[in-house]
Amino acid sequence: MEKRLRDYLETCRLLAAQTKETGSAPGPEELERRRQEMLVQIGFFQHERLIHLIVTVTFAVLAFLTLIGCVLSFQIPLLLLELLLLVLLIPYIRHYYILENGVQKLYTYYDILEQASR
């Protein structure tokens, strides 16, 4: 998903740069088609972002509860579970961060296309 988002952001960046430089490089029909396509892609990435938010928050809550369990009763299996949850939580946070920032950039590119179509 990260590669797909990165590739699509590059495509949008090029389109936005082309649109800014020439005012409205693609024709009005092409610009409208690109805007609609971008809305669909934004919807896909928003859905992915929501799913990863739910997973990340769930892992964070589980890690916190396991930490409380480790503090209250020190047990090796609980400590190993805490370590496992933390190891999994870090990539989830990174992935969610990338999705969040990517969707925010897509909003900016969409706004550029929106202004060019006026």
Boundaries of every domain in the chain: 2-116
> Where is 13: in which H helix or E strand?
helix 2-22
CA distances from 109 to 5, 18, 73, 82, 112 (A): 13, 12, 52, 40, 5
- pLDDT tens-digit profile of 68-92? 999 999 899 999 999 999 999 999 9
Q: Residues near 53 by Cβ (< 8 Å), separated by ≥ 6?
A: 96
pLDDT at 29 over 90: no
DSSP code of residue 56: H
Q: For residue 27, is pLDDT > 90?
A: no
The better pLDDT of the pair 113, 81 is held by 81
Q: Which residue pairs from 37-42 have beta carbons closer than 8 angstroms and sit at least 24 positions apart in sequence?
A: 38/12, 38/106, 38/109, 38/110, 38/113, 39/110, 41/8, 41/106, 42/103, 42/106, 42/107, 42/110
Q: What is the pLDDT of residue 23?
A: 56
Distance CA 83, CA 4 (A): 31
